[in-house]
Amino acid sequence: MSELSAISSTRVETLVRAALAVQTSGEGFFEITREVARFLDQVKARDGVVLLYLRHTSASLVIQENADPDVQTDLVTALERIVPADAGWVHDVEGPDDMPAHVKAMVNGVSLHVPVAGGKMELGTWQGIYVAEHRARPHRREVVLQFLGCCGE
């Protein structure tokens, strides 16, 4: 049986938005946890939720383990096995890795929401926020950040 811990109510007083540019170096995972935490510090976030939205269709956002970099290596390998580049895709105008990148982005998703309490994201001990780049060449990706909640000292 599951157990529900104490529920608190927070009045949403603030909606703050920012854009985060992320330069990737090709296929892989690029951690942005610190940048999101810096955004929360800058807006003096207390309690609420931070929403992240990636404005692209060939990359994605994920929450994954950030303790062992081998996890990201294995995740890239797993995604390549699930969505191979040589699967006979019809769409190949932007290169052979473009259609597989779209499928990987669809599987992972392009938005996340993370609860914020006391100004800190309520991520698990080994969790980090990543832009997953699914294209072989470098790209500049844009993540829209929004905080909804209470701000102040």
Please write the tens of the pLDDT for every residue from 106-152: 999 999 999 999 999 999 999 999 999 999 999 999 999 999 999 98
Average pLDDT of the residues of the chain: 94
Alpha-carbon gap, residue 35 to 134, rounded angstroms? 21
Alpha-carbon gap, residue 64 to 2, rounded angstroms? 24
- pTM of the full structure: 0.92
Tokens of 137: 């060449």
